[in-house]
Amino acid sequence: MVTRIGILTSGGDAPGMNACIRAVVRASIYNGLKVTGIMRGYAGLLAGEFIPLDVGSVGDIIHRGGTILRTARSMEFMEKANQDKAATILGQAGIEGLIVVGGDGSFRGAMTFIERGIPVICIPGTIDRDIPGTEYTIGFDTAVNTVLDAINKIRDTATSHDRTNVIEVMGRSSGHIALQAGLAGGAESILVPEVPFDLDKVCLRLLRGHDRGKLHSIILVAEGVGSAVKIGENIEARTGLETRVTILGHIQRGGSPTALDRLWASRMGAQAVALLLQKKGAVMLAVEKGELVEKDLVEALQSKNELDMGLYQLSGVLSI
Ligand code: ATP
């Protein structure tokens, strides 16, 4: 019977991580388990930065962005000797099962414990939604809504001045945020790393809209596509339309999580505890066809994270 579990957040922070920590702690205590909070991901684990988590310690955090356990990237932890050391530290702290909330890099880190006989349940938490094997990650919905809010605001001023606006959003290797926020925000063009783009076509579309009296145009660019500033300069040079560029940056990481992110974070946190109680490990929680499912971690990490091409094509149809 497991008596103590540990939880850490790792990689980039994402709104909803706190709701997940809260769910893990409360579901554990409800089931008679003790919970140790590990600060700053694998870096804090190696430094032995542990805090006991009780019911009250996760009060008043469900609505807060970021993560009370803080997060980090640890180069030290990439070394095998330090992975051995980390597993020993967990054992010394009496931690018999671990819950890791983070991205696929963090999950690869989690594999090192599984290989050493410590069960780990991985919960997808990243605003980018770029984890293989799941159609949802904690924080993605909040980030999309933050971008949508920015689009709405930029659209107001764009219309008043008859301007074209290029908005750069996060997504170094994936265009999920750009695609979903762009579709929901009525962007004219959405540029994502997964699909090569033709700037001439983007410009043609802009000019066509302008000719039929459109007062504003929004182009959404995922950061992985290239410099939004350069794209904006090129658009202005080719079309003669006044163009402004906005880089949203870290504003997309923060903020109070949406209801959707809080709900999934709460469900995933509680389910992760249930799985450890069932003596399961090497599992990644995922959302598939709208349902919460458990996946073999190794298989999930071997699969590919793909852009929804149906949605991408729809965005093209709706912005003719
Ligand atoms: P995000 O998608 O938000 O960037 P992530 O979890 O993918 O999150 P990474 O920086 O890739 O972020 O990984 C977090 C940490 O996990 C790393 O700093 C490292 O300590 C550990 N890690 C990543 N990859 C591995 C690996 N292959 N083996 C062991 N540990 C790893």
Element (H, E) at 167: strand 164-169
Whole-number Å distance between alpha carbons of 291 and 297:
17
Judged against a pLDDT cut of 90, whether residue 216 lies above it is answered with: no
Ligand 1 binding pocket includes 106 (Cβ within 6 Å): yes
Contact 246, 168 (CB under 8 A): yes
Confirm or deny that 126 is annotated as ligand binding.
yes
* 129 marked as binding residue: no
Evaluate: CB of 217 within 6 angstroms of ligand 1: no
Report the mean per-residue pLDDT for the chain.
Answer: 96
Across the strands, what pairs with 164? 217, 243
253 in a known ligand binding site: yes
The answer, yes or no, to whether residue 212 has pLDDT greater than 80, is yes
Q: Token pair 């071997």 is at which residue?
A: 302
The rounded percent of the chain whose pLDDT value lies above 90 is: 94
Nearest residue by C-alpha to atom 28 in ligand 1 = 109
262 is in an annotated binding site: no
Q: Which of 128, 130, 141, 261 is catalytic?
A: 128
* Residue 82 near ligand 1, beta carbon < 6 Å: no
Active site residue 128: yes
* Closest to 126 measured CA to CA, from 83, 76, 71: 71
Do the domains spanning 4-139+257-302 and 144-253 agree at the CATH topology level? Answer: yes
Name the residue of 8, 46, 70, 73 whose CB sits within 8 Å of the most ligand 1 atoms, as the mutation to test its pocket.
Answer: 73
The CA 261 to ligand 1 mean position distance, Å, reads: 22
Nearest to 263 by CA among 59, 10, 99, 23: 23
pLDDT 10s digits, 255-303: 999 999 999 999 999 999 999 999 999 999 999 999 999 999 999 999 9
**Cα Rg of the chain, angstroms:** 22
Domain ranges of the chain: 4-139+257-302, 144-253
Q: What is the pLDDT of residue 115?
A: 97
Going by CATH, does the domain composed of 4-139+257-302 fall within 3.40.50.450?
yes
Q: How close is the Cα of 79 to the center of ligand 1, in Å?
A: 13
Task: Report the pLDDT value the prediction gives residue 279, as an integer from 0 to 100.
Answer: 96
What's the mean pLDDT in 78-94? 98
Could you read off the pLDDT of 240-250 as tens digits, one per residue?
Answer: 999 999 999 99
236: closest CA among 199, 208, 266? 199
Is residue 215 over pLDDT 80? no
pLDDT at 162: 79
Question: Which residue, among 165, 169, 239, 180, has the nearest Cα to 204 in the 3D structure?
Answer: 239
Which pLDDT score is estimated for 320? 79
CA-closest residue to ligand 1 atom 23: 105
Under the banding of pLDDT at 50, 70 and 90, the label for residue 233 is very high
Q: Look at residue 181 in the predicted model and tell me its pLDDT.
A: 98
Q: What is the pLDDT of residues 149-205, one digit of tens each?
A: 999 999 988 778 878 999 999 999 999 999 999 999 999 999 999 999 999 999 999
Measured from the Cβ of residue 279, the count of other Cβ atoms closer than 10 Å reads 11
Give the CA distances from residue 131 to residues 106, 261, 295, 304, in Å, rounded to whole numbers and listed in that order: 11, 16, 13, 8
Average pLDDT over residues 140-148: 98
| 31: confidence class by pLDDT, cuts 50, 70, 90 | very high
Superfamily in which the 144-253 domain is placed by CATH: Phosphofructokinase domain (3.40.50.460)
pLDDT class for 127, splitting at 50, 70, 90? very high
Determine the residue of 8, 9, 10 to mutate for testing ligand 1's pocket, defined as the one with the most ligand atoms within 8 A of the Cβ atom.
10
In order of 183, 242, 246, the CA distances from 262 in angstroms are 23, 40, 29
pLDDT score, position 157: 86
